Amino acid sequence: MNETCSIATPSTPLVPGEHHPVEEWLRMERMPHIWCPGCGIGTSVNCFTRAVDELGIPHDQIAIVSGIGCTGRVAGYLRLDSFHTTHGRAIPFATGLKLAHPETTVVVYSGDGDLFAIGGNHFIHAARRNVDMTVICVNNFNYGMTGGQVAPTTPEWAAASTTPYGAAEKPFNLPNLAEAAGAVYVARWTVYHVRQLTKAIREAMKKPGFTFVEVIAPCPTLFGRRNRLGDGLAMYESYHTRSVVKNGADTRECALTMDSPIVCGSFVDIERPSYFVTQIGALRRSLGDRYVLPDTWKGVVG
Amino acid sequence: MGADPRGVLTGTHFLDGDHAAAEGALAAGANFSAGYPITPSTEVVERLAVRFPKTGGVFIQMEDELAASIAIQGAVWGGAKAITVTSGPGFSLMMEHLGYGVITETPFVLIDVQRGGPSTGLPTLPGQADMMQARWGSHGDYEIIALAPQSPQECFDLTIKAFNFSEKLRTPVLLMMDECVGHMLERVEIPPAEQIEIEPRRFTDKGPGEQYWPYSLEECEPGGLVPPMTKVGLGHYPHITGLTHDERGYPAMNAAAQTKLVERLIAKIRDRRDEIIILEEDHVDDAEVVVVSYGITARVCHPAVDRARAEGHKVGLLRLITVWPFAGSRIRALAGRVRGFVVPEMNMGQMVREVERAVAGRCPVRHVPNAGGAVHDPDTIYAAIREVCR
């Protein structure tokens, strides 16, 4: 065993005598994590672990797939089958994983830049196919890990390191994009709304098909500092004052600006046959008895 | 281990190389393919799209080559045996995930049916100009295995071999075909399943909950550098990342971890060069001039070699079936006694550089370039042989 391996394990709590309630879901030997003070990603992970805990899905039946960036590092901290893939490609990796092993509940957990810039095409196609997976997008409105560059979600006129005079492009309205592409469940919460976020993740993971949860989170180090939004706590406070809960809201009204209300809630919850159902249906219709269901699909989607 | 009879179309068939490669994948036990259409490779996945639903496999057409080349890797970690197929422009797009497969030690087969390039180039006409991209196209240091079939029969046979190498060494393996081989129709013999040797995936013996590290050498075969695999759902909780990692799979951002990982990834292939390198030699033993070629081009060499031999010139043909790792030691050995080498290939000078490197100036190396679009005229090769014989 090399030196880097001999650090804390779950049986040796960081604070003597204290165990974090979701510790069993975490790779405690990897703590401390890399995220900055005030960052919202850790809070979202806390909500995620509580959601999976409440769902009662066994650990070995959940796989987590991340792309690149700060949120991309989530996979590496979760004690699950975890995959830290290439930039933007978490969703197609997850698609292959799910199709090969449908027993596994697959969660893609990544950032706004990863999922919607380089990965935008994969997002819309997975939603269109309705592959069973939950996509959790931590939206902090910029590229954190590479130094706060403009993202497809950066609000108009917000400053970023590559838009020093203000972003002039219209950002994506993620819930609207997800709905238009075919997602069967779409929700948005901020990291201030820990209980609601936990519940939304739970609902999304329970629902068959392609489900999407947007998590609004502060990046005080880059987006906050550059746009004079204060520290992490101040940004959490702004979520408290700016957020409006509107379950079932029309996603066309969910666009975000620097000072608009942040519309939160569960917006879409529809029924549509998932990928497995449509594929098996089509193949059985054409091939009848000649269709051989893949061994791994038996008993899961039969 | 013999092949699963479900996927083996035993018998004599009249197939093109693309279809033969698809049958090879099925015989090798492939049960997952993600593809993106591109000429001249598409027939491989079209055949899999027809065959998989009848043999218990899964095919999905993805939105692009990037998606296809990473979806297959997700499937491999889900326990599948997976393949994807592409041609020049798509091969360029798959390069990032070739590197991901190398560093995460994910076994899969990637077929490149080469066409003329650069860029969109000649979609329906052959080339062999992706040979260096196959070796060096992904960033960083790595070793790769690439095989080059010259006939539909070999498209079948070498696809199986590619899967076997990929499982044995836990690495991506490339099949460097070309449009001619891909679209050429010939007789293909598919043996009974029990006669097809299959390298099964080696999984860890660790039970659920036992500490399993995806890159620990603890369970390697004696002298081997290839750790056993796991898949999702077994309770091993592997962390798989494209970042430089330690034995646990955890990111390790330092020079020592990089050295340890990269040196092992390279050594696991270099150390087994002798079992990976497959060559075919025709009249090489007494040859004074050796023609070195591969793929469809090697086939066109035969009339030129025969004509030169009929005129009394001692000419032999060395065909590279394994193109990477390169057969440098064989060429080096020959360079000590022959008068020269002739290297015809369908590019403006790629594998010839490797030949020159091995020869190291001890005798002349005459390249016979061809920009692609049509195979060499045997007369051109003959003329080059005569020049070196002189």
Q: Which of B34, B57, B233 sits opposite A60 (nearest CB)?
A: B233
Q: Note whether A294 and B82 are within 8 A (CB).
A: no
Residue A159 has pLDDT above 80, yes or no: yes
Q: Determine the residue among B239, B261, B264 to mutate to test chain A binding: the one whose Cβ has the most chain A Cβ atoms within 10 Å.
A: B239
- The answer to whether the Cβ–Cβ distance between B72 and A5 falls below 8 Å is no
Q: Note whether B104 and B261 are within 8 A (CB).
A: no
Q: Which residue of A has its CA nearest to B252?
A: A4
* pLDDT score recorded for residue A13: 61
pLDDT-based confidence at residue A7 (cuts at 50, 70, 90): very low
Q: Which of residues 11-50 of A touch B (CB under 8 A)?
A: 27, 30
* pLDDT score recorded for residue B329: 97
**What are the angstrom distances between the C-alpha of B327 and each of A216, B176, B248, B273, B292?**
56, 16, 34, 8, 11
**What are the angstrom distances between the C-alpha of B284 and each of A226, B279, B281, B305, B382?**
70, 11, 6, 11, 16
A88 Cβ neighbours under 8 A, 6+ residues apart: A67, A68, A114, A115, A117, A118, A119, A122, B66
Q: Which of B54, B236, B247 sits opposite A292 (nearest CB)?
A: B54
* pLDDT score recorded for residue A300: 77
Q: Note whether B36 and B67 are within 8 A (CB).
A: yes
Q: Note whether A77 and A104 are within 8 A (CB).
A: no
Q: Does B34 contact chain A (CB < 8 Å)?
A: yes
Residue A125 has pLDDT above 90, yes or no: yes
* pLDDT score recorded for residue A20: 84
B159 Cβ neighbours under 8 A, 6+ residues apart: B20, B21, B24, B25, B27, B28, B83, B109, B111, B175
Q: Which of residues 114-173 of B touch A (CB under 8 A)?
A: none
* Short-list B264, B279, B269, B303, CA closest to B381: B303
Q: Which of B6, B56, B63 sits opposite A122 (nearest CB)?
A: B63
Q: Which residues of chain A lie closer than 8 angstroms to B248, CB-CB?
A: 5
Q: What is the pLDDT of residues A15-48, one digit of tens each?
A: 777 788 899 999 999 999 999 999 999 999 999 9
Structure token digits, residue A254: 């969910």
User: How far is the C-alpha of B215 from the C-alpha of A49, rounded, in Å?
Assistant: 27
Residue A4 has pLDDT above 60, yes or no: no
Compute the nearest-CA separation of A242 from chain B (Å). Answer: 37
* Short-list B250, B23, B321, CA closest to A3: B250
Q: Which residues of chain A lie closer than 8 angstroms to B34, CB-CB?
A: 92, 95-96
Q: Which residues of chain B lie closer than 8 angstroms to A59, CB-CB?
A: 235, 237
Q: Note whether B227 and B215 are within 8 A (CB).
A: yes
Instruction: Kindly state the average pLDDT of the residues A87-99.
Output: 98
Q: Which of residues 95-114 of A touch B (CB under 8 A)?
A: 95-101, 103-104
B322 beta partners: B147
Q: Which residues of chain B lie closer than 8 angstroms to A103, CB-CB?
A: 233
User: How far is the C-alpha of B352 from the C-alpha of B370, rounded, in Å?
Assistant: 12
Of A6-15, A69-78, B20-29, the range with the lowest mean pLDDT is A6-15
The ipTM value here is: 0.97
A vs B: CB pairs below 8 A: 161
* pLDDT score recorded for residue A14: 64
Which residues, given as ranges, of chain B have pLDDT below 70?
none
Q: Which residue of A has its CA nearest to B103?
A: A85
Q: Label each residue of chain A as H, E or C.
A: CCHHHCCCCCCCCCCCCCCCCCHHHECHHHCCCCCCCCCCHHHHHHHHHHHHHHHCCCHHHEEEEECCCCHHHHHHHECCEEEECCCCCHHHHHHHHHHHCCCCEEEEEEEHHHHHHHCHHHHHHHHHHCCCEEEEEEECCEECCCCCEECCCCCCCCCECCECCCCCCCCCCHHHHHHHHCCCEEEEEECCCHHHHHHHHHHHHHCCCEEEEEEECCCHHHHHHHCCCCCHHHHHHHHHHHEEECCCCCHHHCCCCCCCCEEEEEEEECCCCCHHHHHHHHHHHHHHHHCCCCHHHCCCCC
Compute the nearest-CA separation of A260 from chain B (Å). Answer: 35
Structure token digits, residue B100: 């991901």
pLDDT-based confidence at residue A8 (cuts at 50, 70, 90): very low
User: How far is the C-alpha of B341 from the C-alpha of B325, rounded, in Å?
Assistant: 19
Three-state DSSP class for residue B339: coil
* Short-list B345, B347, B366, CA closest to B290: B366
pTM: 0.96
Q: What is the pLDDT of residues A247-301, one digit of tens each?
A: 999 999 999 999 999 999 999 999 999 999 999 999 999 999 999 999 999 977 7
Q: Does A270 contact chain B (CB < 8 Å)?
A: no
